[in-house]
Amino acid sequence: MSLTFESLMEDSEERGLPLWRVILENEIDNFGGSEESVRSAMKSRLKIMSESVKKAATQALPTVGNLISGSAKRAEEYREKGNTLSGELINKVMTAALSCSEVNAAMGRICACPTAGSCGIVPAVIITLGEERDIPEDKLVEALILLSGLGAVVVENATVAGAEGGCQAECGVAAAMAAAGAVYLAGGDDNTCLSAFTIALVNVMGLVCDPIAGLVQIPCAQRNASQAVNALISADLALGGMTIPVTPDEAVAAMYAVGKSLPRELRETALGGIAATESARHIEKSIFG
């Protein structure tokens, strides 16, 4: 059976199992191990995620050029003042995403989910919702199993690499995965999880990859924050009954086609977009000569 969202849902319906368990059993069948070993592996990833969403929120970390050093700490200080425009949860999620990005840029330990460049999105959403709603660890693990399986479908049929598909393939897919996980944590069913996934990906269709000086800092960190918010918005839209009249498989195929259509200047080469601006070139020269 080919790995598609449609095949996973058919398997789920035929066997009368929730989607996360179908994904778990596929993992065991294909790679061995047991449910206990998979859950244990996911718990270790949760621990890494939990550490990375907090580390830079309390201390500025040195990065090449220090382009985003201290950004998470400043965001946290702003949130703590309690006078934000978008509220406590949104700002907490943004701070968490920025922290992961800063840890990554400082060569710290992160969980690439699905990539290092998009490492803040899933942790920011899953860890923050877990804390805010006091969700048990086992439920968080199941959300990770679910969203990881959905990411695997994208890898099988398209790409999650910015160099191949633009930032829509990195931060966009991460947002889609996080949106599905958020719906699961909120008690939504599998169809709603897939609706959230599709909405999040459609929201970011066409986003280019244009890192200043070729470093995974700007606009990568800001996009981790914004796409974590995209994930929450998409989850709420899906939970509220909104659907998109295309399937998630079609959305992924469209994303891949768009990514292949992007010129090389807009696929992680730092030759286009904001990376090609005069200010960005000055930054690049100051760092690398």
Q: Could you give the percent of the chain with pLDDT greater than 90?
A: 99
Name 209's bridge partners: 267
pLDDT, position 20:
98
pLDDT tens digits along 160-181:
999 999 999 999 999 999 999 9
Tens-place pLDDT, residues 115-141: 999 999 999 999 999 999 999 999 999
Average pLDDT over residues 179-196: 98
- Asked whether 66 and 143 are in contact (CB, 8 A), the reply is no
pLDDT single digits (tens) 97-108: 999 999 999 999
Q: What is the pTM of this model?
A: 0.97
Q: How confident is the model at residue 2 (pLDDT cuts 50, 70, 90)?
A: confident
State pLDDT tens for residues 15-69: 999 999 999 999 999 999 999 999 999 999 999 999 999 999 999 999 999 999 9
- SS3 per residue for the chain: CCCCHHHHHHHHHHHCCCHHHHHHHHHHHHHCCCHHHHHHHHHHHHHHHHHHHHHHHHCCCCCHHHCCCCHHHHHHHHHHCCCCCCCHHHHHHHHHHHHHHHHHHCCCCCCCCCCCCCCCHHHHHHHHHHHHCCCCHHHHHHHHHHHHHHHHHHHHHCCCCHHHHCHHHHHHHHHHHHHHHHHHHCCCCHHHHHHHHHHHHHHCCCCCECCHHHCCCCCHHHHHHHHHHHHHHHHHHHHCCCCCCCCHHHHHHHHHHHHHHCCHHHECCCCCHHHHCHHHHHHHHHHHC
Of 92, 101, 159, nearest to 126 by C-alpha is 92
Q: Where do the domains of the chain lie?
A: 5-288
Q: How confident is the prediction for the chain on average, in pLDDT?
A: 97
Mean local confidence (pLDDT), 219-246: 98
> Which CATH architecture is the domain 5-288 placed in?
Orthogonal Bundle (1.10)
Residue 231 has pLDDT above 60, yes or no: yes
**What backbone phi and psi angles, to 5 degrees, belong to 209?**
-115, 110
Helices 137-157 and 248-261, interaxial angle, to 10°? 50
The pLDDT-based confidence of 85 (bands split at 50, 70, 90) is very high
**Which tens digits make up the pLDDT trace of 233-280?**
999 999 999 999 999 999 999 999 999 999 999 999 999 999 999 999
The pLDDT of residue 1 is above 60: no
Average pLDDT over residues 206-227: 98
